[in-house]
Amino acid sequence: MDHDSSVQEGPLEVALVGDLTDHEGELTDRLLSVPPGGECTLYIDSPGGSPYCAISLTTLILLRGIRATAVVTGECSSATLWPFAACRRRIVTPFSVLLFHPMKWQSEEHVDLSEAAEWARHFGVLEEDMDTLLADLFGITEDKLRQWINPGRYVSGRELAEGGLAELVEMQALASFRLNGAPKAAKRMKVRS
């Protein structure tokens, strides 16, 4: 029987690497290719990006009921925290790093004072709402989240796991670690007749 190499075996794997905003279209397409209620694995090494991109990806994961597993292979900071928190299973190593900080915004456009004031008002409300959502997704109090956000704090994978927000996998155990509980490769047994 021929084996079609284009057939995906196991959950779809998606790399959230680099600035989310630079790859938003591709990431959205990849998440839309996961059937509603389906599974995927997100490998994360990202400094963040636009809060709108983060909310869009988080909304897709939640709206479509995607059973996502996140693996922080390096950095999961800033806006990347929302899609990470939306995952049903979160895996980190002792070397994983997560930066929590107050929302930052910038505009490349020339704006007048009234428009700048509206941007500031909008981002104040957006930041408060997104912080509430992040605390809800992680299942922690907003006070605990604020301890990490203000003035901005790097949280290690070990610390996140100790807080019950992720599973910690030691580097030495990665070779034998299974994302879905299935063996990495099936061993063939010789049958004697």
| Confidence check: pLDDT of 27 > 90 | yes
Domain range for 60: 12-173
pLDDT, residue 191, reads 30
The residue to which tokens 């929590």 are assigned: 100
Residue 143 lies in a domain: yes
In sequence order, which ranges of 34-92 are alpha helices (DSSP H)?
A: 51-63, 81-86
Indicate the DSSP class of residue 26: H
In a domain, 180, yes or no: no
In a domain, 74, yes or no: yes
DSSP at 182? S
| pLDDT top residue among 169 and 116 | 169
Q: What is the mean pLDDT of residues 182-190?
A: 33
Q: Is residue 189 part of a domain?
A: no
Q: Inform me whether the pLDDT recorded for 5 exceeds 90.
A: no
Q: What is the pLDDT of residue 44?
A: 98
Q: How many domains does the chain have?
A: 1
List, in order, residues 6 or more apart from 171 with CB less than 8 Å away: 93, 94, 95
CA-based angle 56:47:79, to the nearest 5? 30
Residue 63 has pLDDT above 60, yes or no: yes
The β-bridge partners of 98 are: 155
Q: What is the pLDDT of residue 1?
A: 43
Q: Greatest CA span in the chain, whole angstroms? A: 86
The answer as to whether 182 is a domain residue is no
Dihedrals phi, psi of 40, to nearest 5 degrees: -155, 165
CB-based contacts of 92, cutoff 8 Å, min separation 6: 71, 72, 98, 157, 158, 160, 161, 166, 167, 168, 169
Residue 137 confidence (pLDDT)? 96
Read off the CATH number of the domain in which 108 is found. Answer: 3.90.226.10
Kindly state whether residue 186 falls inside one of the protein's structural domains: no
- The encoded tokens of residue 70 equal 């996140």
Retrieve residue 30's tokens.
């990849």
Domain contains 181: no
Would you say residue 191 lies in a domain?
A: no
CA torsion through residues 132, 137, 139, 140, sign: negative
pLDDT, tens only, 98-132: 999 877 665 566 777 787 777 777 777 777 888 99
Question: Residue 79: what pLDDT?
Answer: 93
pLDDT for 2 beyond 60: no
The mean predicted confidence, pLDDT, of the chain is: 85
